[in-house]
Structure 1
């Protein structure tokens, strides 16, 4: 009996030690995965690259972290392990994590009207911070790029009449719904969150806050985040990180906001990020929205968006195939950067092949 208890204790200690590996200046290297399933993963993620027409799957980077250690890493030139890659809309989830630090410091409540921090939103006084985080501001936003660029709110915000002050452009949008009642994916909502954070902190503290609050504590020293002309971080689109640095954010989220001995994000904040927005209707988007993260959850009887991945999988996703996947029960963090232009890449297919490759 004593021997059995001792063995169980030793197994628990061993498991805890693996699960609590943290990157220091760089990630530890685990046992590399290999075998036919890895070959199948490579075949899917890194087919012969068509740079002339930009057709097909065009993976720039694929990184798999298990139990805090790198077990798979591959890049396609010119991207390398040292390349800060444009994350596109992964920036939205990064802003959610930055806001989580401010939330833990009691800078705001989810029920606070955005107008408390950003006066141009006084024309929409009922919109709360939670509404923006759910992409449920009720603002009549058109999030389209190549399909209908002349009618696109996001193209106008990023590239034409809204580019100098993106949050103000979003605030000047008419409403189509009461706030908090309907999901409509909006890069405008994300940039309003960024402007609200600036209002909470003041301009000087705001300009270094993503680094002071999130990046430096995680050991991320080479992130770039562009601003608009009003010096508001473009939270919708323009953060750049290496794959290894983005994986640090994934590990933070996988471990409920804890980084080593520090609870960097309140667990309640991470729980909010991972809770489906209750007014979301199945099929409105490629995954289920949480608090500025995407979830692999069943809603209204509809199947999970990524049926071959566990239900607790969640992700930060960006244009042209950028993805940070977090699989807590599998102890996995996956970063995938790409330059996909034709929509052929599938999240579920990559997740299925990674899960097959990591099986003992």
Structure 2
């Protein structure tokens, strides 16, 4: 299947103008330029590819009603994108943190290395790290293979990531090898992000490149994936099990490559045998008596088996690359959800029945409704209060902030008709965030402590700028609440500013705590006194 079409042939093939609704009018207007890029997947109308526009619309409405926190959705059928949408301030050109969906990309790097003869899945893990050998090598550690890393059956009783993260000066592989291996490798599934890190470390050993560098000419360039970035450990090794950022369409392309058994533009870039092995049921991952859901269908090589004979890569808080071979479909989703199973339930209950074996009659009414819905997706509340008598009294004033871990010295708020500019001064520079009133305002920031992080990041100074979109609202005459969306991550900060007399008290609540309360936030409360 060709992934590139010139504009005229593209529009002709897509049936532009069918039923009075042209192809480009079906998709959000701001996407036109992106849709026609040579390295984009081709686009089509849902019914032409046997997909019900009504089903897609019902799915979007259902996930919104359940407050499942979607940031983007892309549905691909027969190799063609039939629906796509981003909840503002998320957007098609922005990357998104993948969390453990990164694991499937690391597995793919191992597949390329196997094909190139750089290693075998039966190779022993210890053989790659003679310099990190512990004083005593247990029989279980000695027996551990690359395949055991791939299938999460290393023999550890718990995930090894936490001990690795505690090694802030490096040596993660050495730490991994020092940990007890309680069970015989290959016999017991335990989800183990540290195991995926070891795959990354092994790849870098045999290839002399990071996983990101290694995948660039082999995977990213052929698929037209540009600008990917990946977190590293203190030694410069990609974290492997998390930390990759790519765009929603890149996720869809990755799934489409696997759906096509490793072929792209008619060329076999990843061996079909590896695709079969990686996505097959390799090991059980739950007791047989467990009620059926999508986390007990078996596990492959860093891919989960799913219900309905499908498989997926997925990541914390709802990052999905779902491949349905029997339906010739791929579904890419990014989100920050409190219930990952609930999103998949909606896929099975609403989207799956809408995938038909042949083209459907045109449905102009449903197509128009879907187009309008996809074009208007937003995380912005429907109404905000843009004014308060307090605003004019505090606008432009400088508040001296009490000593705090972020080393913020002063803060100020400048209100005008449609936005507020917030400036934080630390010992180095002024950090500015502009919040729209009733709209998102996009910018960048290096504000200390931002963005919130689900997995502790190995931050290097100077901190890079992070994209942020922000809005604010008065929830009472003396309380102004800002929402900062770090829209290349799933996360937001809610900053509640309480004004009283000549003081301001700023309370930070990140969305990680709201979605996963077990992840306690240690964000400081900032208290400032007006000085001018």
Which TM bucket (shorter chain)? 0.7 to 0.9
How big is each residue's C-alpha offset from its partner over 1:122-171, in whole Å with a ceiling of 9 and x where there is no partner? Answer: 742211111110101112323xxxxxxxxxx434434x346734433322
Q: Which position in structure 1 is the counterpart of 2:147?
A: 130
Q: Which position in structure 2 is the counterpart of 1:303?
A: none
Q: Which position in structure 1 is the counterpart of 2:175?
A: 169
Q: Which position in structure 2 is the counterpart of 1:31?
A: 45
1:46 paired residue among 49, 55, 64 = 64
Which stretch of structure 1 is more off in the superposition, 247-256 or 286-295? 286-295
How big is each residue's C-alpha offset from its partner over 1:247-305, in whole Å with a ceiling of 9 and x where there is no partner? Answer: 11111100111112321111111111122124544468444211111113xxxxxxxxx
Q: TM-score, normalised by structure 2?
A: 0.55
Distance change (3 Å), C-alpha of 1:108 and 1:44: same
CA contact (8 A) 1:171 1:192 kept: no
Q: Given the alignment of the two structures, is residue 289 of structure 1 paired with residue 285 of structure 2, yes or no? A: no
Secondary structure of the corresponding residue to residue 65 of structure 1: strand
Q: Which structure features the higher share of helix residues?
A: 1
CA contact (8 A) 1:141 1:188 kept: no
1:141 paired residue among 133, 155, 158 = 158
Task: Return structure 1 stretches of 4+ with deviation > 6 angstroms.
Answer: none
Distance change (3 Å), C-alpha of 1:282 and 1:167: same
C-alpha RMSD over aligned residues? 2.3
Q: Given the alignment of the two structures, is residue 338 of structure 1 paired with residue 338 of structure 2, yes or no? A: no
Q: How is 1:246-257 mapped onto 2 (pairs within 5 angstroms)?
A: 246-257=251-262
CA contact (8 A) 1:117 1:197 kept: no
Q: Which position in structure 2 is the counterpart of 1:157?
A: 164
Report how many residues are paired: 309
CA shift, 1:345, in A, is 2.8
2:277 paired residue among 262, 272, 276 = 272
Structure 1: stretches of 5+ with no match in the other structure? 1-19, 49-55, 143-152, 297-305
Structure 2: stretches of 5+ with no match in the other structure? 5-37, 361-532
Secondary structure of the corresponding residue to residue 336 of structure 1: strand
Q: Which position in structure 1 is the counterpart of 2:98?
A: 87
Q: Separation in 2 of the partners of 1:69 and 1:345? A: 26
CA shift, 1:115, in A, is 2.0
Secondary structure of the corresponding residue to residue 196 of structure 1: helix
Q: How is 1:107-118 mapped onto 2 (pairs within 5 angstroms)?
A: 107-118=118-129
How big is each residue's C-alpha offset from its partner over 1:176-201, in whole Å with a ceiling of 9 and x where there is no partner? Answer: 10111111110011001100111111
How big is each residue's C-alpha offset from its partner over 1:226-265, in whole Å with a ceiling of 9 and x where there is no partner? Answer: 1111111111110001010111111110011111232111
Secondary structure of the corresponding residue to residue 313 of structure 2: strand
Q: Which structure features the higher share of strand residues?
A: 2
Which stretch of structure 1 is more off in the superposition, 326-335 or 122-131? 122-131
Q: TM-score, normalised by structure 1?
A: 0.79
Q: Separation in 1 of the partners of 2:181 and 2:328? A: 42
Q: Which protein has greater RCO, CA pairs closer than 8 Å, 6+ apart?
A: 1
Q: Separation in 2 of the partners of 1:126 and 1:135? A: 14
Q: Which position in structure 1 is the counterpart of 2:352?
A: 355
CA contact (8 A) 1:140 1:173 kept: no
How big is each residue's C-alpha offset from its partner over 1:21-43, in whole Å with a ceiling of 9 and x where there is no partner? Answer: 42541121111455432331111
Distance change (3 Å), C-alpha of 1:165 and 1:44: farther
1:223 paired residue among 216, 228, 235 = 228
Q: Which position in structure 1 is the counterpart of 2:488?
A: none
CA contact (8 A) 2:44 2:81 kept: yes
Q: Separation in 2 of the partners of 1:216 and 1:244? A: 14
Q: Which position in structure 2 is the counterpart of 1:233?
A: 238
